[in-house]
C-alpha cells in the first residue's frame, strides 16, 4: 500500500500525463458493448476507429454503449479516449494516477467516478486496483489497470437479457459495476475475519511477539480499507441527498434509489471494519494483559523465593562470623540443629504463603 507521492514535474507541465501504477506488462485491450432492449453487439479487441464510429453513429444514439478498457500504461491511448469525449485534462490525469483518493465529480454533462478494488491474493497480500468510470450521455467508459473477472456476470446479464439492465440507461449499468466492485470489500472482510479470530485466540495464549506484529499489520490493512471506502461513501451520500433536487443530470431521477442502496452497503462495510478494528484493539489489550500477568507471576515467585531465603541467609551470616568465642561451634549437634531450624523455617513459610495464596 503506497502513500500519495508528490510529482514536481506536473507542477511545471500541467498536461503531462503519466501512469503511476505497476501493471505495465500486458498491452492495453478494449472491449465494447452496444445494446438496447431488443439486442446487443459485442466487440472484442476493439480499435480506436471502431470506438469513434460506434459513439457517434446516428443510428445508435439511443443505444447504451459500454467501453471497458484494460490497462492504463499506454498513456497515449487513454489521452486519445479523453480527447474523443472532450474530457478535461485533469480528469485524464486522475484516471492515470492510481495513487489518488477515490472521488466523484460532475463536470458539465460528464460524471466521473473512481474507486479502489481490494482483494487478497494467494500470497495473502492485498491486491489493490483503481477503477475509474466516465458517464456521458448514453456512454459509459470503465478503466481498469489490468484484466479481471469483476464484471463477468454483468456481461452475461447483457448477453442473456437477464434482469432489467438492457431496459435501463447507462447510469443503471454504472450502479451494477460499482456494486460488483463493492462486493470485493465483503470478500476481503470475510478473509480478515477468519484471521482476526485466530489472532484473538493467540493473543490470550501465545507469548511470541510475532502475534502483536500480525495484529498491527492487520489493523493497518483494515484502516487502508476504511480510507479507500470513505470517499465512495461520501460520494454516494451526495447522490442520495440530491435525489429530490436531481442536480446530477447524468443519473435519472428514478435510478437514485439504486445508488442509495450502494450507500447503505458502504455504511454496512464501514461498520464491520470498525467492529473488526475494535476486536483487534481487544486482542492487543489481551496480549499486553497476558504479558503483564505472566510478569506478575514471575515477580511473585521470585519475591517468594527471596523472602524464603532471607532468614536462611541471616542464619548463615551469623554463623559465618569469625568471632573467637561462639558456644554453638563447640556443641556437637549444633550443625544438625541449624539445618533443622532452617528446614522448619522454609516449610513454615511455604505453608504460610500457600495458605495466603501468594503463589
Residue 211: per-residue pLDDT:
86
Among candidate residues 248, 232, 252, 55, the one with its CA nearest the CA of residue 170: 252
What are the E-state strand segments in the chain? Answer: 29-35, 40-43, 64-70, 103-107, 110-120, 126-136, 139-144
Q: ∠6-8-11 over CA atoms, to 5°?
A: 105
CA atoms within 13 A on the CB side of 106: 14
pLDDT, one tens digit per residue, over 86-112 is 888 889 999 999 888 888 888 878 899
Query: Under a CB-based contact definition with an 8 Å cutoff, are residues 221 and 195 in contact?
Result: no
Going by the DSSP 8-state scheme, the letter that residue 71 receives in this structure is -
Convert the pLDDT of each residue in 34-69 to its tens digit.
999 999 999 999 998 899 888 888 788 789 999 999
Q: How far apart are CA 4 and CA 228, in angstroms?
A: 13
Geometric angle at alpha carbon 227, from 222 and 233, rounded to 5°: 115
In this prediction, residue 13 carries a pLDDT of 55
220: exposed, middle or buried (Cβ count in 10 Å: 0-12, 13-18, 19+): exposed
What pLDDT digit, counting tens, does each position of 301-334 carry? 888 888 888 888 888 888 778 777 778 777 788 8
Task: List, for the chain, all residue ranges whose pLDDT scores fall below the cut of 70.
Answer: 1-15, 240-249, 359
- Output the CA angle 49-50-52, nearest 5 degrees: 65
Mean per-residue pLDDT over the chain, rounded:
85
What's the chain's length in residues? 359
Three-state SS for 34?
Answer: strand
* The pLDDT value given to residue 8: 47
284 vs 244: CA distance, rounded Å: 46
Amino acid at each position: 500500500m503506497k502513500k500519495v507521492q508528490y510529482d514536481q514535474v506536473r507542477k511545471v507541465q500541467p498536461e503531462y500525463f503519466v501512469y503511476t501504477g505497476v501493471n505495465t506488462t500486458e498491452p492495453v485491450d478494449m472491449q465494447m458493448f452496444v445494446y438496447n432492449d431488443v439486442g446487443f453487439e459485442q466487440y472484442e479487441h476493439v480499435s480506436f476507429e471502431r470506438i469513434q464510429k460506434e459513439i457517434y453513429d446516428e443510428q445508435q444514439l439511443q443505444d447504451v454503449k459500454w467501453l471497458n478498457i484494460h490497462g492504463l500504461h499506454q498513456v497515449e491511448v487513454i489521452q486519445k479516449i479523453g480527447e474523443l469525449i472532450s474530457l478535461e485534462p485533469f480528469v485524464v490525469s486522475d484516471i492515470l494516477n492510481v495513487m489518488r483518493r477515490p472521488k466523484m465529480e460532475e463536470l458539465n454533462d460528464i460524471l466521473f467516478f473512481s474507486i479502489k478494488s481490494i482483494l487478497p491474493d494467494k500470497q495473502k497480500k492485498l491486491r489493490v486496483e483503481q477503477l475509474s468510470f466516465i458517464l456521458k450521455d448514453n456512454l459509459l467508459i470503465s478503466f481498469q489497470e489490468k484484466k479481471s473477472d469483476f464484471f463477468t456476470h454483468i456481461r452475461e446479464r447483457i448477453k442473456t437479457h437477464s434482469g432489467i439492465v438492457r431496459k435501463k440507461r447507462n447510469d443503471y449499468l454504472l450502479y451494477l459495476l460499482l456494486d460488483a466492485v463493492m462486493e470485493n470489500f465483503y470478500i476481503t472482510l470475510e478473509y480478515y475475519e477468519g484471521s482476526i479470530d485466530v489472532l484473538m485466540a493467540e493473543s490470550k495464549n501465545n507469548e511470541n511477539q510475532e502475534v502483536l506484529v500480525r495484529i498491527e499489520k492487520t489493523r493497518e490493512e483494515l484502516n487502508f480499507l476504511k480510507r479507500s471506502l470513505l470517499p465512495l461513501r461520501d460520494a454516494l451520500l451526495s447522490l442520495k441527498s440530491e435525489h429530490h433536487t436531481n442536480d446530477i443530470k447524468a443519473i435519472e431521477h428514478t435510478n437514485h434509489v439504486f445508488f442509495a442502496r450502494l450507500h447503505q452497503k458502504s455504511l454496512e462495510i464501514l461498520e464491520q471494519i470498525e467492529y473488526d478494528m475494535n476486536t483487534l484493539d481487544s486482542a492487543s489489550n489481551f496480549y499486553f494483559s497476558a504479558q503483564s500477568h505472566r510478569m506478575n507471576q514471575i515477580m511473585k515467585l521470585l519475591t517468594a523465593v527471596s523472602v524464603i531465603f532471607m532468614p536462611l541467609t541471616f542464619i548463615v551470616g551469623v554463623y559465618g562470623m569469625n568471632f573467637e568465642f561462639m558456644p554453638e561451634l563447640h556443641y556437637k549437634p549444633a550443625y544438625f540443629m541449624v539445618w533443622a531450624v532452617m528446614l522448619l523455617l522454609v516449610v513454615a513459610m511455604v505453608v504460610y504463603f500457600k495458605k495466603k495464596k501468594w503463589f
